[in-house]
Amino acid sequence: MRVGLVCPYSWDVPGGVQEHIRDLAEALIDLGHHVSVISPADDDAVLPGYVVPAGRAVAVPYNGSVARLAFGPLSAGRVRRWIKDGDFDVLHVHEPTAPSLSLLACWVADGPIVATVHGATARSRALHAFEPVLRSALEKINGRIAVSEAARTTLVEHLGGDAVLIPNGVTVSRYEKAEPLAGWPGEGGAIGFLGRMDEPRKGLPVLLRAFEIIGGQRPGLRLLIAGPGDGDDVLARVPAELRDRVVLLGQVSEAVKVQVYHSVDVFCAPNTGGESFGIVLAEAMAAGAPIVASDLDAFRRVLRRGAAGELFANGDAEDLAAAIGRLLDDPRRRATLSAAASAAVRDYDWPKIARDVVQVYEAVLPVGADERAPAAP
């Protein structure tokens, strides 16, 4: 099967949607399908062989974050040419309501279209005002996928109809084994965070406050933080006596990210909202890290309502500090959560998820049009 994947966000800026599309593309290729991805990216960007650049992205506030999107004549022309040259059996667009390539692709495509909604967004005035224009593109979508119940609700509110629930995937084998970073976790214990430091909904301020509480009680405890953002601003929010125990790695490579999960006694996901799934949780689960996460609905589902990770009251730094302390003091509980997480994450392994996605592709193909699909492995 010839599959065209449309990424709305700049390929060279780390993000959950970009990682999802990358891993889906590679899983589909492993299954024997021909895959091409189009994404915002500079023409001189270093990209995988299956990614086609659609031009430079522009930073735009979107869904509580700042997304790098591409929308204009140059991008539209490149999307049109890519679709024509690709001769795809199925076009798979991601986040179709974002003002970027996915929406452009829906406007210009004629064949079967599948859309995946990743985010959980409230119905906004801007979307409502833009709805007549959106509708002309979105009505062409034949198959719909939501990565979570929250994303499904968003899809139904914005597009109507229903969607197949297929969660985000994680390449479990990529995260299972890695050597910890040198000197970690150390005798005094270590807690970890991975995410954008300057994005409030990722919850780092909550974790910093929790570390202030628990760090004063445990002289050897350290906090390991990985992700882009202003490190000086982060350290300025930490009491002076604790700053030498906060280690900032900045934006890290995929290999170092895996090491981070294996370098801490407790991994924290203090996100405060806007999460429809929690890919960072799935990665930490694949690494077997004991997890403490805020009790968002999406996180509850991924962590099996607390069976595969400890949950704390969203935004409550004192509750987070207490949960971290309980796990640090209970190695047996950490081992139990680690084993439960490693078992639960198998439901999200990419080979399984990719086969579920292919079933949606097959459902929207015209009768007799799937003869280019490979035999089931």
My answer on whether 9 and 104 are in the same domain is yes
Listed residue (165, 217, 333, 212) closest to 265, CA to CA? 333
Domain of residue 117 covers 2-169+349-364
My answer on whether 148 and 43 are in the same domain is yes
My answer on whether 195 and 100 are in the same domain is no
Quote the CA–CA distance of 273 and 262 in Å, as a whole number.
26
My answer on whether 11 and 149 are in the same domain is yes
Listed residue (63, 13, 20, 64) closest to 42, CA to CA? 13
Residue 50 belongs to domain with CATH number: 3.40.50.2000
My answer on whether 318 and 200 are in the same domain is yes
Residues 154-212 pLDDT 10s: 777 766 678 899 999 999 999 999 999 999 999 999 999 999 898 889 999 999 999 99
My answer on whether 263 and 354 are in the same domain is no
List C-alpha distances in Å: 372 to 13, 82, 173, 368, 375.
34, 19, 29, 10, 9
3-state per-residue secondary structure call for 222-277: EEEEECCCCHHHHHHCCCHHHHHHEEEEECCCHHHHHHHHCCCCEEEECCCCCCCC
Cα–chain-centroid distance for residue 111? 28
Q: Is residue 370 included in any domain, yes or no?
A: no
Q: Is 161 left (phi over 0), alpha (psi -120 to 50) or beta?
A: left
Quote the CA–CA distance of 63 and 342 in Å, as a whole number.
31
* Entry pTM: 0.80
Q: Is residue 369 included in any domain, yes or no?
A: no
My answer on whether 260 and 186 are in the same domain is yes
My answer on whether 219 and 341 are in the same domain is yes
Q: Is residue 377 included in any domain, yes or no?
A: no
Quote the CA–CA distance of 241 and 252 in Å, as a whole number.
26
Residue whose entry in the numeric block shows the structure tokens 């403490």: 292
Listed residue (196, 202, 204, 172) closest to 252, CA to CA? 196
Residues 320-336 pLDDT 10s: 999 999 999 999 999 99
Q: State the total domains in the chain.
A: 2
My answer on whether 108 and 88 are in the same domain is yes
Residues 268-311 pLDDT 10s: 999 998 776 778 899 999 999 999 999 998 899 899 999 999 99
Q: Is residue 212 included in any domain, yes or no?
A: yes
Q: Is residue 71 included in any domain, yes or no?
A: yes
